[in-house]
């Protein structure tokens, strides 16, 4: 007798997810430690153990089919989502992967700000799950040897850490205004990486190595049967493969610095510290060059490094500028002022993208005025949160606030009676809440310690850092709960999705007694949400009758 969907839902819900997470992290921590001491035999042994683990397969399936957010696109199999019964069927298909071959990719194109289109290859759900499984094995290995100058697509690191590293290189002292900055981008990085070189840099047992090779060589439906270069952009493992391929380029301009240390009262010892002169975020990089140094020599080293990997610098995005002239990086504008102090504010391009997104949302006739304003609030709040460690006062935000008010007024005058619920006073209040009452503090973020990694088993450190990523009530609730999920009692890991749950289901009741912070996976199965779903389904069925 085959299990029904209802029984599979209960079975999926009652799986020991807490135990699964503990088992996987324990193995990843051991892989991380073994790689640090370069015990490759033990690394491969632990990777094989993790790959065959039932817990890892369940977690990979849950990550791909349940936790990953964003627009879900189907691969060539036509499946974008799986129910609980189909998830168990997917688990059975992962039992024997000796003869596994990656399916072809489905090609889609997404627009870029400059008018071009970026090609994405969408794998099937099974291929995504296997990529996620291999990522569990490969990520702790890369974290063990990752450079201090690498920041993009790594667990626990974010763009604010990059900002603080730039601040440390250009903060107020006598020579910061004499420094030059080489900013560059790699042309079609994901599409042109040499497969042979990339595979030689990957530390995996033969079976898993063949899976990576199969993913790299997978063709595109109706275009080509095999891919000879590049990584499958759009796949789960693509950012990690990019980091592995480019590892070391951020260190080619580092400089040793000697200083005297006095560990005790008797002896003074001379130590050497490496000054990080390069910062890389995925395929975007900047290098700091002193006044007396030769920029052409650095450029020659970069070109040599990239040629070996089948890549080259994109000349249109490569600039050598003085620190006093300013430069753009990761959506910020950095500039050393006349008083030799570094300042930072949102770049013109980043601000324009935000304004265009708000205008496009307000003009979307599929939603009511109230719904549009709620969407604008989410967009602007996310943008302000990203720039909260910048000097927002340097840019003009009054224009978009005024435009939103006038457009909302125009819509409200033409709206029907239901939409006129947002009267003039309420409309002014709603727009005022969106574009005001936001705090920002320049360079006040505590950057990550350079020697720390999410796989070093220091859960308390990473839980507290996780709490700093949130603001308002969620940050307060996390502190009250001592950075633990109120449902499973596990500490929040670096890459966990944290959500605010209203115990009584009333989202207007924001008293702290009614709030708790939960994992997204724990939040899905709270009884109050199940009751709401059943009520909605009953109403729909009654209307159909």
Sequential pLDDT tens for the chain (545 residues): 677 877 888 888 888 888 998 899 999 999 999 999 999 999 999 999 999 999 999 999 988 888 776 556 777 878 878 888 888 988 988 888 888 888 888 877 777 766 677 777 788 888 889 999 999 999 999 999 988 888 888 888 888 889 988 988 887 665 677 889 999 888 877 777 888 888 899 988 888 888 888 888 775 554 555 555 545 566 788 889 889 999 989 988 887 765 445 555 455 555 556 778 899 998 889 999 988 888 899 999 999 999 998 888 888 888 899 988 999 999 999 998 877 888 999 999 999 999 999 999 999 888 888 888 889 998 998 899 899 889 888 888 888 988 988 888 887 766 555 555 556 777 778 888 888 767 778 888 888 877 788 898 887 788 777 767 777 788 888 888 888 888 887 777 777 778 888 888 787 788 888 888 888 878 877 777 655 544 444 443 434 44
pLDDT on residue 356: 93
Same domain, 296 and 394: no
pLDDT on residue 193: 83
Same domain, 291 and 400: no
318's CB contacts (< 8 A; 6+ apart) are: 182, 183, 184, 185
Taken in order 3, 8, 10, 12, the sign of the CA dihedral is positive
pLDDT on residue 502: 86
Helices 369-386, 348-362: crossing angle, 10 deg rounding: 170
pLDDT on residue 497: 78
pLDDT on residue 328: 92
Cβ–Cβ < 8 Å for 121, 106: yes
Query: Tokens standing for 413?
Result: 């005058």
pLDDT on residue 217: 79
Asked whether residue 11 is assigned to any structural domain, the reply reads: no
Asked whether residue 124 is assigned to any structural domain, the reply reads: yes
pLDDT on residue 538: 43
Question: Distance between CA 377 and CA 375 in Å, rounded?
Answer: 5
Same domain, 327 and 359: no
Asked whether residue 33 is assigned to any structural domain, the reply reads: no
Question: Distance between CA 98 and CA 403 in Å, rounded?
Answer: 59
Asked whether residue 27 is assigned to any structural domain, the reply reads: no
Asked whether residue 463 is assigned to any structural domain, the reply reads: yes
Domain termination residue (choose one: 304, 330, 346): 346
Query: Tokens standing for 18?
Result: 């807490």
Same domain, 288 and 206: yes
pLDDT on residue 47: 94
- Report pLDDT digits (tens) over 263-318: 554 555 555 567 788 999 988 899 999 888 888 999 999 999 999 988 888 888 88
- Report pLDDT digits (tens) over 45-98: 999 999 999 999 999 998 888 877 655 677 787 887 888 888 898 898 888 888
- Longest CA–CA span in the chain (Å) reads 89
Same domain, 364 and 215: no
Range of the domain at 377: 348-435
Q: Where are the beta strands (DSSP E) in 103-217?
A: 106-111, 117-122, 180-185
Closest CA to 129 of 155, 160, 97: 97
pLDDT on residue 474: 82
Question: Distance between CA 517 and CA 523 in Å, rounded?
Answer: 9
* CB-side neighbour CA atoms (13 Å) of 541: 6
Closest CA to 64 of 137, 142, 4, 124: 124
Whole-structure pTM value: 0.85
Asked whether residue 394 is assigned to any structural domain, the reply reads: yes
State which H helix or E strand residue 79 sits in. none
How many structural domains is the chain composed of? 3
Closest CA to 189 of 314, 375, 61: 314
Same domain, 423 and 317: no
Cβ–Cβ < 8 Å for 310, 207: no
Question: Distance between CA 227 and CA 219 in Å, rounded?
Answer: 5
pLDDT on residue 422: 56
Same domain, 423 and 511: no
């Amino acid at each position: 007798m085959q299990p029904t969907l209802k029984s599979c839902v209960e079975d999926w819900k009652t799986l020991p997810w807490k135990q699964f997470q503990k088992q996987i992290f324990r193995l990843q921590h051991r892989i991380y430690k073994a790689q640090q001491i370069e015990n490759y035999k033990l690394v491969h042994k632990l990777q094989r153990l993790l790959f065959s683990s039932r817990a890892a397969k369940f977690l990979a399936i849950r990550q791909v089919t349940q936790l990953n957010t964003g627009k879900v696109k189907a691969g060539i199999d036509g499946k974008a989502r799986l129910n609980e019964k189909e998830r168990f069927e997917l688990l059975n298909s992962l039992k024997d992967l000796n003869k596994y071959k990656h399916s072809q990719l489905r090609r889609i194109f997404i627009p870029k700000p400059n008018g071009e289109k970026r090609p994405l290859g969408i794998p099937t759900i099974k291929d995504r799950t296997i990529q996620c499984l291999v990522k569990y094995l490969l990520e702790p290995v890369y974290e063990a040897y990752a450079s201090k100058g690498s920041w993009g697509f790594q667990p626990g690191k974010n763009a604010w850490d990059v900002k603080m590293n730039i601040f440390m290189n250009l903060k107020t002292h006598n020579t910061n205004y004499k420094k030059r900055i080489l900013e560059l981008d790699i042309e079609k990085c994901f599409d042109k990486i040499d497969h042979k070189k990339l595979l030689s840099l990957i530390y995996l047992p033969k079976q898993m190595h063949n899976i990576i090779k199969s993913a790299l060589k997978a063709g595109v439906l109706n275009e080509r049967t095999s891919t000879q270069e590049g990584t499958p952009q759009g796949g789960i493992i693509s950012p990690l493969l990019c980091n592995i391929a480019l590892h070391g380029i951020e260190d080619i301009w580092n400089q040793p610095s000697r200083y005297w240390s006095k560990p005790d009262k008797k002896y003074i010892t001379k130590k050497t510290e490496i000054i990080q002169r390069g910062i890389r975020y995925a395929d975007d990089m900047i290098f700091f060059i002193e006044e007396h140094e030769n920029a052409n020599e650095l450029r020659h080293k970069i070109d040599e490094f990239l040629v070996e990997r089948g890549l080259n610098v994109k000349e249109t995005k490569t600039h050598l500028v003085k620190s006093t002239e300013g430069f753009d990086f990761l959506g910020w504008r950095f500039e050393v002022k006349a008083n030799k102090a570094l300042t930072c504010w949102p770049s013109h391009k980043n601000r324009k993208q935000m304004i265009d997104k708000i205008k496009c949302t307000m003009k979307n006739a599929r939603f009511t005025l109230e719904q549009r304003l709620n969407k604008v609030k989410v967009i602007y709040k996310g943008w302000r949160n990203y720039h909260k460690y910048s000097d927002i006062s340097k840019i003009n935000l009054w224009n978009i606030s005024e435009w939103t008010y006038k457009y909302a007024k125009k819509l409200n005058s033409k709206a029907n009676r239901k939409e006129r619920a947002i009267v003039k006073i309420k409309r002014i209040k709603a727009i005022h809440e969106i574009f005001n009452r936001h705090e920002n503090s320049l360079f006040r973020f505590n950057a990550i310690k350079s020697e720390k990694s999410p796989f070093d088993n220091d859960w308390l450190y990473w839980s507290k850092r996780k709490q700093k990523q949130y603001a308002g009530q969620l940050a307060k609730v996390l502190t009250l709960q001592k950075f633990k999920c109120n449902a499973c009692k596990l500490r929040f890991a670096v890459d966990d999705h944290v959500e605010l749950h209203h115990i009584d289901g009333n989202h207007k009741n924001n008293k702290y007694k009614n709030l708790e912070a939960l994992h997204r996976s724990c939040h899905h199965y709270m009884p109050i949400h199940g009751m709401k779903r059943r009520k909605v389904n009953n109403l729909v069925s009654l209307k159909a009758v």
